[in-house]
Structure 1
Amino acid sequence: MLCFGIILRHILYQKKEAMFWYNFETHNFETHIGWGFLSAFYIASIFALQVI
């Protein structure tokens, strides 16, 4: 479970990083909000994984 969490975090981090630069270049506000929700879920999953 912990190993899966680490892999998931790594993938999400890479996507978030790429998406940040994409938003920075295109100023796509809707995408930015969508990734804001995803990052909130991502933070919640980190806390959940630490509790488990």
Structure 2
Amino acid sequence: IKGIDPEAALQRSNDKFLRRFNYIEEEIKSRGDRWEDYRLEELDAIWDEAKGQGL
């Protein structure tokens, strides 16, 4: 797309992914749980929480 720096766009996407992933990690840790305790649907719900918070 004209006028968009692909490297900068990729970096922003990676940063967003890491913020959301870190949110999931912290949420699981704060609940005293482990990754293995969660089904994909539950992890998706936490991911959506992160998105809802603008992460």
TM-score (norm 2): 0.47
Say which structure is richer in helix: 1
